[in-house]
Structure 1
Amino acid sequence: MDNRFITTLENNIVYCALLDNRDQLIEIHPEQISQHSIIGNIYIGKVSNVVKGINATFVNIGLDKDVFLQIEEGQYFIYTNDKSSTDSPKIGDELLIQITKDFYMSKAATATSMISLTGRYSVLTYKKSFIGISSKVKKIQERYRLKNIYNNVLNDEYGFIIRTNAVDISEDDLLKECDMLIATFNRIREVGKFRKSYQCVYKEPQNYIRLIRDLYKNNVDVYVFDDEGLYNCAKDYFNDDFYNNISDRFELRTDTNNLYTLLGFNAKIEKALQDKVWLNSGANLFIQPTEALIVIDVNTSKSVGKKNFEDTVYAINIEAAKEIARQMRLRNLSGIIIIDFIDMQVEAHNKQLLDTLEAIFLEDRIKTTLVDMTPLGLVEVTRKKADKNIYDKFKDLRKN
């Protein structure tokens, strides 16, 4: 596949990028070295307010603003005293919460009491005592094998969601990671009993470490760094056997200009922020995010077609579908996405277009669902929100 994962340091910003074999960006993730995200961190918080009308509480974790904790039926809590895990929080209660969404402008960060710990092959989920498995694991025999392995470690306190990375990994390696996640979970619970409020008892690794951990194992051939400190941190984190010797594919390059300059990241980023995307055929896409949804329009523009107009349009739409899937991942577009392809009269062409989109969406590590094509010919897609989109990320960086 020849994909490369690049970690480069430029002006105190760590840029993580996944590049294909033509050095096109597949994903780009910037993060200021001094401002790490708190998503995934676990804190001992103290309930400061309970708002019964919206079934929510606000929890003080020692930062400038309290965080928002939604209360739902059947929810469990980990209190620092002997209070039952099924009792709803009251003002003054101390409990463990995990951040699910960062503070953004005037909005509070959000949190959950249903703690989860993410590994490379699975996610430990508190009080969800079942085994889930990624829908991207298609082979029935492999799904059966994986479920049997994880059923051996299932109990009333936690379950596991099996990730796509687990496919073809040995039982020993999968169970080693399970043991590590269970030990970490038990340690967090124990530490929570004697630590004071407002302390962070578990911190997610830096963004570039999380990305290396989360990318599918077959998507990357080499991981290249241009900063020795970042390289050494990654080597230390991934030095365990159950990471399948991933660190053997780490490379450190400090003998040239930094990779940000060498690979032309500045131009690639500016291009990724533009509304218009040109295709090789001369057609183009127009990508317009709005408050409610994202609209992507396909235009023939300068495209020079064949004699048969239907065949020309079909070829443009197939080319556009592949580029749209790349742009959705690159820009980290999420929510409702409406795609206006060029109208086609042949029903088989419409079906092939949808099949092409569905197949490409399987390559995206974020859940992307092709809903349908409407009677007006608009293709409806949803993509799970997992982080800020590219526009917000670079807007925040340029403020600072």
Structure 2
Amino acid sequence: MPQTTITLDHPVDFARWRNATRALVGQHVSPEAIAWHVAPSGQPDTPAPDARPFRIPRETMQLAADVLQSMLPDRFTLAYRLIYTHVTGTDIPPPDLTRMEDAAAAVRAETVHLRHDLFTLMQHTDGDDGWHATLQATTYAPECNARFMTFQLSLAPWRLVLPGRRMEWTGKELLYGQDGAAPSPIAFNSLPPPAMPLVNGLDIPRITALPAVALAARTCRICPMARHATQTVFGEGRSDARMMFVGEQPGDKEDLAGRPFVGPAGQLFDRALMEAGIDRDDAYVTNTVKHFKFRPRGTRRIHEKAGPEEIANCAPWLAAERRVIRPHVLVMLGATAASALLGRHVTIGRERSRAIKLDDGTTGVVTVHPSFLLRVPDEAARVREYDHFVADLKLAASLRTPAAP
């Protein structure tokens, strides 16, 4: 007979389910002793402080999240049982496991359908109403792909009518409600993670808002670098910048700060920009690769050069930045950036310090990466190379078209 009642705020309240599961499984409370109830409580969820910590494999937690996106009436109990049996070393009943796997398969199928047919399903309305659709969903996959839809639709408002419920992104917040009740705000992070990684199926070339591209890129887990780095380091600067600077990849300091060019090379870069008469606040600064690639050496993380696979995986993000910003001048800092953007092997000595007309009409300039200047051992040579770098930046600045009045 259930002795503990857990109240969830909405039918896909993964955040409260997870917090309660951590507390109750940590105390070895059996699935049969818990009753799950859905009703807005408005109260923060505080797990019991004496719960024992435990770790769950990513695949197991994802299966639980997928089950919570199904419409099985006992989905909260099934998902809890999955975690409980893993922690206690007991066996989950085979019929329960089969039901969970079948439910997860249905959720994955609906997720694929939603993402593949999003622009067919959603109709655009002129004005502030944005996109809208009515969908006969058989799972809660649409709710859990709300962030995907928001990114894919470039942060524009949208609304989705579903059986017995509706969901709306106003451009500022996500609203959710059952039929007959006024929708109320819910947090994206209260929902289960979607059955597919957020970036999978995203049509990046259709995203027209730079903030949407940046937010989507921060979810990217395509290459192994993303699993080791602290975070995605996306570009920053004006979306209408006339100058765009592209380096290789974030370093240790950038990985920790979440911003490009803030470490020693970034400080040298800022100084050179100032001497060249370029205001960094008027430019856009980014990297070819958005995660820090390194090898551990004791407590230090040693930079490793980005390879062709990492460059290819990050290419859609860089292309989106370039497409949205449409800079007049594109400055390639180092051979990695230049090779990626020119589509061929680049030797800095042969390509630098001249204007290069690019396919989209942008003017490109190749120069060294500022980190190169930090590695020049001889003081006189370092001064000479720095002056050459500043001269390249001045050349790039001279190629800008005049700002509109």
Same fold (TM over 0.5): no
Structure number with greater CO (CA < 8 Å, separation at least 6) is 1
Larger gyration radius, structure 1 or structure 2: 2
TM-score category, normalised to shorter length: under 0.3
Normalized per residue, which structure has more helix? 2
TM-score of the superposition, structure 2-length normalised? 0.23
